[in-house]
């Protein structure tokens, strides 16, 4: 018996009508998902990739005399990240000024991350050990600083650390010091301000890990006559390590490129990558150099994140 025209698709594809209908429904669902995803992708392209492409293009151009760029190819901005040209011989020499800024930025960001971890770890542990109906209140209190503009919070820290500030007044009243301490415009002030600003970014992932911690394991450690330090080192820290790593990354990345806190609390004396980038786009009027520094910082951060993600995937495959 000859096959009808309605049976042709079934014979050509080798699929039954229910299977064809199922595939058609899958394609329709995929189109709907893509349509729902399209606004987010459009925002990422317009607000993220497009400006980044402009910065990348600027980094390979020549600086104009009064800000802006000249659309002529030049790799000087990228070369200047590590070298500088001698004024007389035009030879390439190590750019020690930039090296010191790179080292200071990494050191200050690392110190900030360490301070945030020292304060954030016990804070997260305290919140995770409260009654479930009280944890949201403590998390709410942790997020309150985010309600205020970062610049206002930085000025508040300046009022605390200045020569006539709250901290010096208290120390003078207690007779601990005879003259006000120079706290403002120091590396310590910058680290303190950065740690204060990014502390919630450390607390949140740490709390997320500690909330899932099975505290029966902690009790088992005490039952086996382990000291508090041994329980902390061998039980708690290994179990919450993903939260520690995530919090350190979330603190380190914005701290290494911060501009507002370092410029205000550092007083322009402690230049870091954020202030260096701002200076290139501002007083120096060297937009290609500022673009190259910004992209170089982003590349370093992406490489570090890629290495971390690769290690996490490798551990998960081993397990």
Bridge partners (DSSP) listed for residue 167: none
Range of the domain at 38: 13-59
Task: For residue 299, count other CB atoms closer than 10 A to its CB.
Answer: 10
- Does 51 map to a domain? yes
- Does 153 map to a domain? yes
Average pLDDT over residues 118-125: 94
> Using 50, 70 and 90 to split pLDDT, how confident is the model at 53?
very high
CA distances from 314 to 27, 137, 248, 307, 310 (A): 34, 37, 20, 11, 6
Please check whether residues 194 and 284 belong to one and the same domain.
Answer: yes
Please check whether residues 217 and 291 belong to one and the same domain.
Answer: yes
Average pLDDT, the chain: 86
Average pLDDT over residues 265-292: 88
Please check whether residues 216 and 262 belong to one and the same domain.
Answer: yes
SS3 sequence, the chain?
Answer: CCCCHHHHHHHHHCCCHHHHHHHHHHHHHHHHHHHHHHHHHHHHHHHHHHHHHHHHHHHCCEECCCCCEECCCCCHHHHCCCEEECCCCCCEEECHHHHHHHHHHHHHHHHHHHHHHHHHHHHHHHHHCCCHHHHHHHHHHHHHHHHCCHHHHHHHHHHHHCCCCHHHHHHHHCCCCCCCCCCCCCHHHHHHHHHHHHHHHHHHHHHHHHHCCCHHHHHHHHHCCCCHHHHHHHHHHHHCHHHHHHHHHHHHHHHHCCCHHHHHHCCCCCCCHHHHHHHHHCCCCCHHHHHHHHHHHHHHHHHHHHHHHHHHHHHHHHC
What is the model's pLDDT at position 268?
73
pLDDT digits (tens, 9 = 90+) for 207-252: 999 998 888 898 899 888 888 899 999 999 999 988 998 899 889 9
What is the model's pLDDT at position 116?
94
Please check whether residues 103 and 186 belong to one and the same domain.
Answer: yes
pLDDT digits (tens, 9 = 90+) for 72-106: 999 999 999 999 888 777 788 898 989 999 999 99
pLDDT digits (tens, 9 = 90+) for 171-197: 899 888 888 888 888 888 998 999 999
- Does 86 map to a domain? no
Q: Does 201 have pLDDT greater than 50?
A: yes
What is the model's pLDDT at position 54?
93
- Does 199 map to a domain? yes
Q: Does 262 have pLDDT greater than 70?
A: yes
Return the CATH number at 109. 1.10.3720.10
Please check whether residues 162 and 47 belong to one and the same domain.
Answer: no
What is the model's pLDDT at position 7?
47
Please check whether residues 118 and 258 belong to one and the same domain.
Answer: yes
Please check whether residues 159 and 36 belong to one and the same domain.
Answer: no
- Does 69 map to a domain? no
Structure tokens at 166: 């709250």
Please check whether residues 120 and 38 belong to one and the same domain.
Answer: no
Q: Does 126 have pLDDT greater than 90?
A: yes
- Does 305 map to a domain? yes
- Does 20 map to a domain? yes
Enter the DSSP assignment of 67: S
Please check whether residues 166 and 276 belong to one and the same domain.
Answer: yes
Q: Does 56 have pLDDT greater than 80?
A: yes
| Rounded CA separation 98/30 (Å) | 50
- Does 285 map to a domain? yes
* Count of domains forming the chain: 2
Please check whether residues 105 and 187 belong to one and the same domain.
Answer: yes
Residue carrying the six token digits 């919070």: 153
Please check whether residues 160 and 43 belong to one and the same domain.
Answer: no
Please check whether residues 18 and 110 belong to one and the same domain.
Answer: no
In three-state secondary structure terms, 84 is strand
| Rounded CA separation 243/172 (Å) | 40
Residue pair 301/61 in contact by the 8 Å Cβ criterion: no
């Amino acid at each position: 018996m000859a096959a009808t025209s309605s049976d042709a698709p079934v014979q050509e594809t080798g699929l039954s009508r229910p299977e064809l209908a199922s595939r058609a429904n899958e394609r329709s669902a995929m189109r709907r998902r893509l349509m729902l995803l399209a606004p987010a992708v459009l925002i990422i392209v317009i607000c993220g990739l497009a400006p980044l492409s402009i910065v990348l293009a600027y980094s390979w151009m020549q600086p104009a005399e009064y800000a802006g760029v000249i659309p002529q190819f030049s790799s000087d901005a990228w070369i200047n990240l590590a070298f500088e040209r001698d004024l007389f011989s035009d030879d390439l020499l190590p750019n020690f000024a930039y090296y010191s800024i790179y080292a200071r930025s990494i050191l200050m960001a690392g110190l900030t991350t360490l301070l945030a971890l020292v304060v954030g770890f016990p804070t997260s542990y305290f919140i995770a050990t409260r009654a479930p109906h009280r944890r949201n209140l403590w998390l709410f209190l942790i997020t309150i600083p985010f309600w205020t503009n970062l610049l206002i919070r930085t000025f508040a820290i300046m009022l605390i650390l200045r020569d006539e500030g709250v901290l010096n007044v208290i120390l003078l009243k207690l007779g601990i010091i005879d003259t006000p301490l120079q706290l403002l415009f120091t590396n310590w002030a910058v680290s303190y301000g950065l740690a204060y600003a990014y502390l919630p970014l450390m607390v949140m992932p740490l709390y997320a890990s500690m909330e899932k911690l099975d505290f029966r394991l902690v009790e088992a450690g005490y039952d086996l006559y382990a000291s508090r330090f041994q329980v902390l080192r061998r039980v708690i820290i290994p179990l919450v390590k993903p939260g520690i790593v995530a919090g350190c990354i979330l603190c380190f990345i914005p701290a290494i490129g911060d501009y507002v806190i370092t410029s205000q609390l550092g007083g322009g004396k402690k230049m870091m990558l954020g202030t260096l980038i701002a200076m290139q786009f501002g007083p120096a009027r060297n937009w290609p150099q500022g673009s190259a520094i910004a992209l170089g910082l982003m590349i370093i951060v992406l490489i570090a994140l890629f290495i971390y993600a690769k290690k996490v995937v490798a551990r998960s495959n081993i397990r």
